């Protein structure tokens, strides 16, 4: 009796194994319809690919485009609210690496895609990956081409006199700067500017305030509220960029465009180029 059932039981196990192996392929075949994004840049990418309506929830920092503001806010990447995410029954969750939420959500059987958002290449890769997931790679290509076109247009708008000038991009007033290896730094390079931060310091190094003063950047870019009292920092009044008002100051909403690695990177470059063009016009930046 046992001998007779053994082969059929084994066959059943094999069938089950094959089914398990093939299951991801079947699931992957249908584009996701209910998506949770835990990263603002990925939320924006998804919307740029026309899939905003498929979002059922985001992290608390995702605020663009405006329709995502009405969606359930599910905490941040590091303190994601697992129960509320699971209750939304998403068929895809987008996240960044090194978050404990990723392990927990995967253990609950949810499909999680983990994506980096550090460089231009990452953004391109993410767009194409999301395009492939949504079954619309052509649109992803088109969005990326538009970003590239905007970057090129922005670079062309930068006055010749400003090319090669040194720049300090402040991310946070402690002060943290955007280094040349960050996605912001890559945009600055495309605009023909010269970062005062050496590449070896990494993407977002914390600088000594003295370093900035001694580097004497010819242009300073920062959020408006940080720029407001920058001259009051000890010794910073000596920055010639501050004295001569060679500044790009952005209110929070427009500043967010600059610091989000996503489909608005082209727009960010245009914003920067507009500011640089205005400086060039006002001051006729010839005398160094």
Partner 1 sequence: MQRRRRRLLWALAAASGVLMLAGLAAGGDGWSWAGFTQLLQGPDAGLIVGQIRAPRTLGAWLTGALLGLAGAVAQGLFRNPLADPFLLGSASGASLAVVAVLAAGTLGAQGLGPPAAGMLSRVGLVAAAFAGALGGVLLTLMLARGAQHTLRLLLAGVVVGVVLTAVSDLLTLAAPEALRGRQVFMLGSTGFLGWDSCLMLGSGLVLALPMAQRLSRTLDALVLGEDSARSLGLALPQLRLALICLLAAATGLAVSQAGLVAFVGLAAPHLVRRYAPGPHGYTLLASAAAGAVLLLAADVAARTLIAPQELPVGVLTAVFGGTYLLLLLNRQSPS
Instruction: Decide whether 88 or 215 has the Cβ nearer to partner 1.
Output: 88
Q: 């946070």: which residue's tokens?
A: 172
Closest CA to 167 of 41, 258, 265: 258
Q: How far is the CB of 56 from partner 1 (least distance, A)?
A: 14
Residues 92, 133: contact at Cβ < 8 Å?
Answer: yes
Instruction: Decide whether 59 or 133 has the Cβ nearer to partner 1.
Output: 59
Residues that bind partner 1 (CB under 8 A): 72-73, 75-84, 86-87, 89, 97-101, 103-104, 107-108, 116, 118, 172, 176, 181, 200-206
The DSSP code sequence of 232-249 is GSTTGGG-HHHHTT-EEE
C-alpha–C-alpha distance, residues 255 and 239, integer Å: 22
C-alpha–C-alpha distance, residues 46 and 90, integer Å: 15
Instruction: Decide whether 176 or 211 has the Cβ nearer to partner 1.
Output: 176
Instruction: Decide whether 86 or 213 has the Cβ nearer to partner 1.
Output: 86
Instruction: Decide whether 27 or 87 has the Cβ nearer to partner 1.
Output: 87
Residue 135 CB: number of other CB atoms within 10 A?
A: 12
Instruction: Decide whether 177 or 188 has the Cβ nearer to partner 1.
Output: 177
Instruction: Decide whether 5 or 103 has the Cβ nearer to partner 1.
Output: 103
78 Cβ contact list (under 8 Å, min separation 6): 99, 100, 101
Side-chain-side CA neighbours of residue 49 (13 Å): 28
Residues 206, 176: contact at Cβ < 8 Å?
Answer: yes
Q: How far is the CB of 274 from partner 1 (least distance, A)?
A: 28
Coil, helix or strand at residue 219: strand
Closest CA to 48 of 60, 62, 65, 63: 65
Q: How far is the CB of 87 from partner 1 (least distance, A)?
A: 6
Residue 226's Cβ-count burial label (10 Å; 0-12, 13-18, 19+) is middle
């Amino acid at each position: 009796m046992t001998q007779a059932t053994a082969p059929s039981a084994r066959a059943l196990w094999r069938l089950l194994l094959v089914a398990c192996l093939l299951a991801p392929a079947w699931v992957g075949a249908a584009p996701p319809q209910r998506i949770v994004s835990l990263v603002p840049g990925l939320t924006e990418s998804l919307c740029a690919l026309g899939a905003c309506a498929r979002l059922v929830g985001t992290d608390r920092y995702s605020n663009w485009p405006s329709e995502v503001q009405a969606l359930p806010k599910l905490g941040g990447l590091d303190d994601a609210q697992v129960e509320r995410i699971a209750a939304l029954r998403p068929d895809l969750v987008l996240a960044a690496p090194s978050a404990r939420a990723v392990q927990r959500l995967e253990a609950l059987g949810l499909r999680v895609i983990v994506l980096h958002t550090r460089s231009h290449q990452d953004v391109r890769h993410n767009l194409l990956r999301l395009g492939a997931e949504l079954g619309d790679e052509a649109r992803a290509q088109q969005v990326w081409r538009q970003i590239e076109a905007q970057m090129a247009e922005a670079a062309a708008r930068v006055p010749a006199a400003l090319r090669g000038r040194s720049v300090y991009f402040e991310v946070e007033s402690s002060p943290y700067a955007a280094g040349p290896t960050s996605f912001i730094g890559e945009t600055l390079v495309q605009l023909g500017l010269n970062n005062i931060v050496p590449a070896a310091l990494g993407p977002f190094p914390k600088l000594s305030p003295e370093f900035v003063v001694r580097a004497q950047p010819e242009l300073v870019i920062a959020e408006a509220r940080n720029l407001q009292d920058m001259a009051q920092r000890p010794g910073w009044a000596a920055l010639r960029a501050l004295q001569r008002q060679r500044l790009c100051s952005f209110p929070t909403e427009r500043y967010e465009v600059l610091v989000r690695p996503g489909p608005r990177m082209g727009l960010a470059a245009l914003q920067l180029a507009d500011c640089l063009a205005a400086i060039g016009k006002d001051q006729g930046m010839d005398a160094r």
